[in-house]
Structure 1
Amino acid sequence: MSYQPVGHIRALSGVSDDTVVGSPSTVGSQPAILEEHAHQGGGEKQQVVHQYAELNTPSSPYAFPLREFNDIRAPQYDHHANVSRLSSTSTKEASPHVRKVSSQQSNNASDTGRGSSRWLSKSESWAPEVLSLVLAVLSMVAMIAMLAHFNGRALPLWPSTFVTLNAVVAVLVTMTAAFVGIPLSNGLSQIKWIRVRAPGGAPLADIDMFDSASRGAMGSFGMLVKGRGGVLGSFGATIVVIALLISPFSQQIITYPSRTVPVSSPDAATTFRALNYSLVLPGMSDLAAFVPILPLKAAVYNGLFAENGKPWLSLPFTCQTGNCTFQPFDTLAVCYSCVDMSAYMSRYCADGIPDNGDMSNCGWILPDGPKLGSSAEVFSMTSFFPTGLGDAPYSSIMRLVFMGTESQSGLAGALNPWAKQCTLQACVQTISSTVTNGVLNETILHTTTNTSVISPPSLSPPSTTSSLPPVSITPANATGNGTLPRHETFLFRREAILGMQLWWSSLFANGTASRNADFINRTVAAASPTSNHQVVVNLTVGISSGATFFDTDVVQAFYWNYYQYPSGIEDLVRDLSASTTVSIRSLVGAGAEAVGGTAYRGESFVSVRWGFAAVPVFAVAATGVFLALAAWGSRRVGAGLWKSSALAVMVHGLDGAARTEVFGGVAGLGRQKAVARRVMVRLDDTEGDAGGVALRVEEKY
């Protein structure tokens, strides 16, 4: 029988009972054959099983020195030794690697192997990977369904304070990533068997490369860098790397921005508007027949001297949350308007035009009477009130005329004459009202006035004033605000207007503000005893050197605003009208009513950014495609579903001769990896049952 250097135990037949199977000796050129007898009762010789044990050949990893028998030490292994014959009494001590196997034991082993193969074939399936993929899909679907349910809603109130929406999403994402990892890992491991099973084989190093890739992202990234994974392997490695982004991207899916939502309470937001105004007190004389009520007087002083530019802040309102809105509404009000009268000014000389034509000491005058006596007078104010002569619209309350010779930012003595007229009158305003952070803000959208000019009856004693018709105003586009018919009429009682005029005539009496001592004790007198107009007084105020003296606080207020602000006079008149309107709107139950609005409270809500969900969804879907391709590839080449089994590598690894031929004398893992890259192997079973399925060396570079 010839020697076969293959690392398998081969059954031999036709060997005599006296043949000894064992290790080679030093005296022959053939391996030594040891004889083993098996005797059972009656001394009958039973069948002898001879096995050829290649346990001490150069290609075997189990080479060992022979032990001593019968006080004779056998020399070390020698291929040129002759076959020695040993007695049956010494076979037990010939070698510890010799095994006694009977025919019945061999048959039982074969049956056990076939049973294991049948069991293995039942377990060789993709069921664990498919189940993991299904669980990953279910976890992802559960997360998406939950996000879709809470998207746009307020923060959910969970039964436990320790459970939040983010925590539930994190658990589902972790489950998804864990379930995705199983088919990815086993699929990448299976690819190495597909590669070595395919015709032509694959480099031996690819087995190690795919094994590393199946363990995690580092190995997969290394395989992508090397570019040796093929289309399917690179696809799986890419999914493994992308799967690292599942957790960070999932954490970006949910945000919690703030928004304002309406409060359902009907009393959460209220403001007020005036439908009519008629409150006035009787006076003590015919010249002061009516007196305005105290709240109106307080509002006027607030508008003139508060210096906050927001007189409407004194309007009472309700806003429980600090942020409220109101639909535009109409309200009775006192409006103002200012026009530039500078174009109507003309030179005025009290003593006539001088003969020499020098008009440096002359002043300026307007057509209806207000004037500046000379160029030395730099500021002038005149107040007018309707007297029933038809000289103004019936709704007018007061007219103020301001004149001056200096610009606001000009030099002292530099002549720049100007004139401005401002009018206060009853009107209807369309207002947009909001409350932001507890601060009321109102914007006038539209103003409606009654410009009709009529001749009311002359003043009568208080007992007959009821015959005076009220000022009625009907806005063309009435809002109604849901409380009144759309085209309602607002009424301003004439007696209330007269009371305001009589009080304002003294409050806004013409006075003086001067830097010249000659005007400090000047006496105010009527221009003409028969004049139907109120007294006209010129105020001389400038920015020249010297102390400034004011006759009244009102004059001081207008003087200050003119030089302090670009539109100071108009701003002060606006504050005066707004304060008066606030007083009229605040008298609830006496012509004013509440206007309902909407209060808004801030809340945090769930906002889902679906773009960040693309990564986990892609990872799960791509894993399903990868698993299907791996299963199809295994079936196509007939590769066993050994995946990441270490047992499969040990059972079906390189045979002994191939290991010696390829890696003989190569020490160190690094050098062995370098050699493995130059060896092409293929999983082959062409030698039949005798050879078994094993990696065969196809080519070595």
Structure 2
Amino acid sequence: MAYQQLSKMQHAVEVTPVNEDYTPPSSTLQNYEEIHDFDFSPASPRSTVKSPSIKKHVPHWSSSTNSTAVTSEVCSTKSNNQAGLSRARSWAFEILAVVVGLGAVASIIGVVSKYNGRALPDWPHDITLNALIALLATFANAAMSVCLSSGISQAKWIRFKQASTPLSDMEAFDDASRGSWGSIKLLGTARGGFLGSFGATVAVVALALGPFSQQIATYKVRSVESDIGATIPRALNFTPALAGNTSTTGFVPILPLKAAVYNGLFAENNRPAASLPFKCQSGTCVWEPFETLAVCHECTDISSLITRYCPPELGPSPNMSSCGWQVPPGAHLNTSSDVFSMTSFIPSAYGDMPHSTMIRLIFMGTELQDTPDKLNPWASQCSLQACANTLSASVTNGTHQENITHSVLNHTVIDMSSPDPAADYGVYIAGNTDDTAYLLGMEALLSIRGWFSAIFTNGSATRTTSDFTLSVTDPDRAVVVNLTVGISSGETFFDTDIVTAFYWNYYEYANGINMLMSDLAISMTTAFRGFNGAVETNGKSITVESYVHVRWGFAVLPIAVVVATLVFLLAAMTMTHTSGTQVWKSSALVSFLHGLDHQTKERFDTNDSLAAKKKQAKAVKVKLYTDDRDNSILGVEKAAC
């Protein structure tokens, strides 16, 4: 092919219609109209100056559309145009943008990696981790939009350079370079080619970069140990007692211990250890198992030992239906009308019980707890004694809980009928986990026994007035209650308040007597642990902490988008180089400098609507031509002479 050198910028356009009878114009019509760079209107009438001749290049036409070749040549201002367009050739800004995008996404990954599994950061001015991620995602989106806009715009020139393309595709590419909606339309029309479709796809997927980035880091809560600390007391010994002449043993308990006994018997709040002076500021604490001096209880069913018993006042030949029942230790129900009784036994100085025993109680009754109106005699024996308990303690939401995991008892029997003044008659219990010997002082033990003998007096419950006058042991201390509890209802007569408490628990709960003995033992243990002889045990204070949990699956999309943008930009740069396309990208100036020629523009009626022009543009195919006369112009290929 040969080209003719022009001395000034000229635009020569010829549109050849598809017509077999078409006669090419004569060579005398080689004159041309000079086209203004912006509005393409004639700048002057035909010049009388002799113009160089131009040989036409007749393109091949399809049967359905017209193909227009646009030719542009440069005048003597070549250096100015090259300087202006050289700036557009640079990809430096896009490269910088993709570096910023890569850095922003890498920063998101780095930040969440650093704080993954760690407590929420406490940054100045209440800046949150999500705010930082959102800011970095915004930077990444902005940077990616720069690369995608330039790349899609450049893909437009590459496509028109490589093949004749409908003029309407120019608008489709421009719309795609401006936003995601245009990209969706370009994908819908399938007119973007490989490079344009790739860029449009990345632009659409990039819409999810922000939301997916926000989903990478989530927040969960966990329990962690606090440096606040926690303490709970355990008793190594309990020795206090007051001298009292009114007691059978010469000692009376201190008031805190008496209060603990009454709390265990009558509070019925399921919190016998509520007064324990523990420290747990966080509201949730745990302790390793520890030992303490304690009071243990034990209850045994002795119903198999029951025999009939007739009180002496019924005479030598009583009516057996009026007699009661008894068990070998000496406890009895006087008559069949006595529905409940309590008999107490205090250890004697002759050693009839283990030395650690404080009291033994035998309960008897004629009704089962859940079977009304049927005679079912029963008997149960319970005891309280000093022991060493291994406890598992915890505080949850401010509520203290303890479980007994192991108990050590001292079953030694000691005869103190002839006491040795120099001997130590305290109750010593060897610990289970160490060599600690837990001590209940002799004076404290005697004070408990003496006071228990006064308050745990024998008594019973009956439901008829006549039988009450026969069975009551102390009319001045009698309790008359009209109550309904369990299967028991109606007016009931009790000898003491303590008998009333055990009666209530027996009928109210399935294992009521054992439950009340347990409350009494725990309440007394709490008193031991709150007085002299107690030491603090350190535990762990637990606080609830919010921490960062990273869901790496959501990081895939931001990484994929930024990598795809980089690949798209590299592909656009490579195809620009290999196709010999100018780096014009989205420059609007190019459209003015290298627009359609005058004759082609005349094909579009100025009175037509924009919709009509768009429809007509689909039928006109154009191709971008450049030649070696100037690197910055559009030109038509010249046929060889």
Alignment CA distance shift 1:167-1:287 (3 Å):
closer
Equivalent residue for 1:473?
429
Range with greater deviation from structure 2 (577-586 or 233-242): 233-242
1: CA distance between counterparts of 2:262 and 2:109?
64
- What is the letter of the counterpart of residue 508 of structure 1? F
Counterpart position of 2:63: none
- In the TM superposition, 1:301-320 aligns within 5 A as 301-320=262-281
Q: Deviations over 1:518-546 (max 9, x none)?
A: 243447789xxxxxxxxxxxxxx996665
**Deviation string, structure 1 residues 296-345 (Cα, Å, up to 9, x no partner):** 11110111111211010111122233333222211010011223333443
CA deviations 1:250-277 (Å, max 9, x no partner) are: 3334445445544435xx4222110112
Determine if the alignment matches structure 1 residue 54 to structure 2 residue 14: no
2:282 is equivalent to residue 321 of structure 1: yes
SS in 2 for 1:650: helix
AA in 1 matched with 2:415: P
Distance verdict in 2 for CA 1:660–1:343, change over 3 Å: farther
The amino acid across from 2:150 in the alignment is: N
Q: For 1:529-540, what aligned pairs fall within 5 Å after superposition?
A: none
2:507 to 563, 568, 581: 563
Q: Does 1:447 align with 2:407?
A: yes
**Structure 1 counterpart SS, 2:338:** coil
Query: 5 Å matches for 1:160-171?
Result: 161=125, 163-171=127-135
1:626 corresponds in structure 2 to 568
Contact 1:681–1:695 (CA<8 Å) still a contact in 2?
Answer: no
1:577 equivalenced with 2:532 (yes/no): no
Q: Does 1:676 align with 2:621?
A: no
Write the mapping of 1:532-551 to structure 2, written as runs, cut at 5 A.
546-551=490-495
Find the aligned partners of 1:689 and 1:294 in 2 and give their Cα distance: 113
Q: Are the aligned partners of 1:654 and 1:694 in contact in 2 as well (CA < 8 Å)?
A: no
CA distance in 1, matches of 2:47, 2:514: 120
| Equivalent AA in structure 1 for residue 170 of structure 2 | I
Over 3 Å counting, the alpha-carbon distance change for 1:302 and 1:675 in structure 2 is: same
For residues 57-88 of structure 1, the C-alpha deviation after alignment (integer angstroms, 9 at most, x for no partner) is xxx9748xxxxxxxxxxxxxxxxxxxxxxxxx
Q: CA deviation at 1:154?
A: 4.2
1:497 is matched with 445
Aligned to 1:238: 201
Q: Name 2:20's counterpart in structure 1.
A: none
Task: Look up the match of 1:297.
Answer: 258
Partner deviation per Cα, 1:381-420 (whole Å, 9 max, x = no partner): 2222222555433322222222222233332x22233322
CA-CA distance at 1:556 after TM superposition: 0.9
Displacement of 1:354 = 13
The structure whose RCO (Cα within 8 Å, separation 6+) is larger is 2
Match of 1:432 in 2: 392
Seen in structure 2, the aligned counterparts of structure 1 residues 525 and 299 have a Cα distance that, compared at 3 Å, is closer
Give the letter aligned to residue 615 of structure 2: A
Q: Structure 1 residues 511, 372: closer, same or farther in 2, change over 3 A? A: closer
Of 424, 431, 456, the residue aligned with 2:415 is 456
Equivalent pair of 1:382/1:402 in contact (CA under 8 Å): yes
- Extract unaligned runs of 5+ from structure 2: 1-8, 13-24, 52-72, 475-482
Mapped to 1, the partners of 2:47 and 2:112 lie a distance apart of: 67
The correspondence for 1:195, drawn from 156, 159, 179, is 159
| Distance apart, 1:550 and its partner CA | 1.5
2:16 equivalent in structure 1: none
State the match for 1:126 in structure 2: 91
Specify the alignment match of 1:372 in structure 2.
Answer: 333
Unpaired runs of 5+ residues, structure 1, are 1-6, 11-28, 34-50, 64-94, 479-485, 527-540, 697-701
How many Å separate the matches in 2 of 1:173 and 1:614?
14
SS of alignment partner, residue 452 of structure 2:
helix
Q: State the shift of 1:98 in Å.
A: 5.8
Deviation at 1:347, TM superposition (A): 4.7
- Please tell me the residue identity of whatever aligns with 2:514: E
Give the alignment partner of residue 459 of structure 2, picking from 511, 516, 522: 511
Provide the C-alpha distance between the structure 2 equivalents of 1:247 and 1:100, rounded to a whole number of angstroms.
Answer: 65
1:684-699 matched pairs, under 5 angstroms: 684-685=625-626, 693=634
Give the drift of 1:685.
Answer: 3.7
SS in 1 for 2:277: coil
Q: Larger Cα Rg: Structure 1 or Structure 2?
A: 1
1:142 Cα offset (Å): 3.0
Question: For the structure 1 residues 354 and 295, does the alpha-carbon distance in structure 2 shift closer, same or farther, using more than 3 Å as the test?
Answer: closer
2:176 is equivalent to residue 217 of structure 1: no
Query: RMSD of aligned C-alpha atoms?
Result: 3.9
Distance 1:300-1:556 versus aligned 2 partners, 3 A rule? same
SS in 1 for 2:150: helix
Task: For 2:148 and 2:635, locate their aligned partners in 1 and report how far apart those are by CA, in whole Å.
Answer: 26
Read off the aligned partner of 2:399 and give its amino acid letter: V
Measured after TM superposition, the shift of residue 284 of structure 1 is 1.9
Q: Which residue of 1 aligns with 2:537?
A: 595
Q: Distance in 2 between matches of 1:569 and 1:101?
A: 130
| Equivalent of residue 107 in structure 2, options 118, 142, 160 | 142
Alignment equivalent of 1:405, drawn from 363, 366, 372: 366
Deviation at 1:582, TM superposition (A): 0.6
| Structure 1 residues 506 and 286: alpha-carbon distance in aligned structure 2, compared to 1, 3 A threshold | closer
Instruction: Assess, with a 3 A threshold, how the Cα gap between structure 1 residues 490 and 100 changes in structure 2: closer, same or farther.
Output: farther
TM-score (norm 1): 0.74
Secondary structure of residue in 2 paired with 1:313 = coil
TM-score by length of 2: 0.80
